[in-house]
Amino acid sequence: MKNKKLIVWAAGLLAAAAVLFGIYKAFGPKTASGSKTVTVIVSPISEAESRYELNTEAETLLQVMDELTKVSDFTYEGNDGGYGLFITSINGIQADYSTTATYWAIYVNGEYGQFGADQQPVNDGDTFSFVCETVE
Amino acid sequence: MGKTGKQIRSLLTIAAMVAIVETGKQLLNALPNIEVVTLLFIVFTKVFGWKKTLAAALLFALLECIWWGFGTWSIVYFYMWPLLVWFTWLIRKQESVWAYALLAGAFGLLFGAFSSVASILLVGFKTAFAWWVSGIPYDLIHGGSNLVICALLYQPLVSALTRIVNHYGSLH
């Protein structure tokens, strides 16, 4: 490939990266500062549901989760997958996609969450539900 | 070499490719979106051709599904890596390492966008778009790391593999 062609391709790649960055800035999750009151609900498949209320200045759901671990019996485990935090356990209840086809889904105000816990913005009055679901 | 011998040799080559790719994948699993799978499939396509590498890509996708479990996302694996093999084959006559580094970079950058095509069919446009947007920072890391890794390792790997292929070719 001639150098000129390569430079054009490299410029195209840089432009694509810039466009992607612009799309993320325009449509990506936007966090808000300030005090909020949020509710967190944990719904395992068979065990009883747990409910937590928190006054917080957290900007992401992950920060809410970290605060909850300090002030309540809420616990979680997860690993940093290719696309953010992948929750593997909540309140000691494991979800294992590969063996039991279960996973922890995040619902925000009753709707299926569109971001991972580390990106999910927190607004005053939000209700976050962790629901252990089975893949159908 | 007879027909059976050639077939066995092809199967062993494919098995070796899958083993190398899977090992590379597992070794770097802890580093989010930094991987050598893209580099390896580009190098393999260049050295072994598209047929053997395509077979290895499909087997790798199958192995990943067995390892992590089959899910709705599994379909992505079955078209993303074959797509990379195809793109590499299209530019196989290019000699500059930068052509392949740019391909690897573009592939990483657009991995989320290509993957979201399957997501649209499975979860609808709105959710698929939100998933793709939330993954853009990771796609940027993926594209940048792919470009650097390929720029550094493409030439040494192609040279080493070509030497091995030529060596074993001369034995028969």
The CATH number of residue B157's host domain is: 1.10.1760.20
pLDDT at A136: 62
CB contact B151 to A (< 8 Å): no
Spell out which residues of chain A touch residue B91, defining contact as CB-CB under 8 Å.
Answer: 1
Beta strand residue intervals within chain A, DSSP E: 36-43, 50-56, 76-81, 84-90, 93-94, 102-108, 111-112, 127-134
Asked if residues B34 and B25 have their Cβ atoms less than 8 Å apart, the reply is no
ipTM: 0.82
Return the structure tokens found at A119.
Answer: 């990106």
Asked if residues A33 and A59 have their Cβ atoms less than 8 Å apart, the reply is yes
Instruction: Calculate the average pLDDT of chain A.
Output: 89
For residue A12, the surrounding DSSP H or E stretch is helix A3-27
- Does residue B139 have a pLDDT over 80? yes
Place of tokens 């009883």: A48
From A95, A122, A133, A116, select the one nearest A40 (Cα to Cα): A122
- Does residue A105 have a pLDDT over 60? yes
Return the structure tokens found at A60.
Answer: 């992401």
CB contact A97 to B (< 8 Å): yes
Selecting from 2.40.100.10, 2.20.28.10, 2.60.120.10, 2.170.130.30, what CATH number does the domain A36-134 have? 2.170.130.30
pLDDT at A122: 95
List CB contacts of B117: < 8 A, sequence separation 6 or more.
Answer: none
pLDDT at B11: 92
Instruction: Convert A55-75 to b/e letters by CB count within 10 Å (16 or more is b).
Output: ebebbbbbbbbebbeeeeebe
CB-defined contacts A:B, below 8 A: 76
- Does residue A43 have a pLDDT over 50? yes
Task: Determine whether the interchain pair A28/B129 forms a contact, defined as Cβ–Cβ distance below 8 Å.
Answer: no
Across the range B11-30, mean pLDDT stands at 92
> B38 lies in which domain range?
3-170
From residue A98, how far is each of A81, B51, B152 by CA, in Å? 15, 30, 35
- Does residue B167 have a pLDDT over 90? no
Across the range B128-155, mean pLDDT stands at 93
Across the range B149-162, mean pLDDT stands at 96
Q: How far is CA B99 from the centre of its chain?
A: 16
Q: How far apart are CA A96 and CA A45, in angstroms?
A: 13
Best residue in B33, B91, B93, B136 for a mutation probing chain A (most A CBs within 10 Å):
B136
Q: Is B40 helix (H, G, I), strand (E, B) or coil?
A: helix
User: Closest chain A residue to B102 measured between Cα atoms?
Assistant: A10
Residue pLDDT, tens place only, A48-96:
899 999 999 999 999 999 999 999 999 999 887 666 788 999 999 998 8
Q: How far apart are CA B59 and CA B78, in angstroms?
A: 9
CB contact A82 to B (< 8 Å): yes
Spell out which residues of chain A touch residue B95, defining contact as CB-CB under 8 Å.
Answer: 1
CB contact B130 to A (< 8 Å): yes
- Does residue B120 have a pLDDT over 70? yes
pLDDT at B73: 66
- Does residue B57 have a pLDDT over 80? yes
- Does residue A21 have a pLDDT over 80? yes
Task: Specify the number of domains making up chain B.
Answer: 1
pLDDT at B172: 40
Band (B171; pLDDT cuts 50, 70, 90)? very low
